[in-house]
Structure 1
Amino acid sequence: METFSFDTEISISSELISTRLEQDTVILNLATGKYYSLEGVGSLIWQSLEAKQDLGAIQENILSSYNVSSEQSLTDMQAFLSSLADAGLISF
């Protein structure tokens, strides 16, 4: 798993379209035809990335929305971002 710092710049792939459905986010990779569905904190992180928020702001969003420690939110956020990068949805 990659480690990120709060100044890591993250870019969403230009080959994606996404939409929010209630509390979830659905992503379509136009290059591969694969769909992804994000719920809860995953959807929150994705919406924050689309808003071009930095990792510090994303962590604050998580902390204000979920009952989780700062350390746990950072660990989980790093794991989730690594999985998005492995799927080719983001790059840094």
Structure 2
Amino acid sequence: MTEAVPRLDATSRVVAARDQVSADLDGDAVILNLADGVYYGLDAVGAHVWALMAEPRTVAELRDAVVAAFEVDAATAEHDLLELLRDMAARGLVEVRG
């Protein structure tokens, strides 16, 4: 991991970092971090979240979208989402804006 991970909670606003390119692969996503040349893969849930982050969104908005689209309760969705976003932020794939 390359960067310090900012504090994240339900009110944090996140957006996909500019220094990357991504592609949809049959519902999954592949992201190339242009800063380090590393590819990352996301499953269907991660790809859904990634697509939503083309525009700044709060963690709560992302959680609610995941709950609406997949069979998961809000607490589990938020926990898993925060874990994913922390990892993505540490790798420079996501910008946290407060």
Same fold (TM over 0.5): yes
Distance 2:65 2:9 in 1: 17
Letter in 1 for 2:58: D
> Normalising by the residue count of structure 2, what TM-score does the alignment of the two structures yield?
0.80
> Normalising by the residue count of structure 1, what TM-score does the alignment of the two structures yield?
0.85
CA distances 1:29-54 after superposition (whole Å, capped 9, x unpaired): 11211111111211111111114333
Q: Any idea what SS the aligned residue of 2:30 has?
A: strand
For 1:45-64, list aligned pairs within 5 A. Answer: 45-64=49-68
Instruction: Report which structure shows greater RCO (CA 8 Å, sep ≥6).
Output: 2
Give the superposed CA RMSD.
1.9
In the alignment of these two chains, the number of paired residues is 92
Which 4+ stretches in 1 moved above 4 angstroms?
none
Identity of aligned residues (%): 24
Map of 2:44 onto structure 1: 40
Q: Where does the alignment leave 5 or more consecutive residues of structure 1 unmatched?
A: none
Higher helix share: 1
Higher strand share: 2
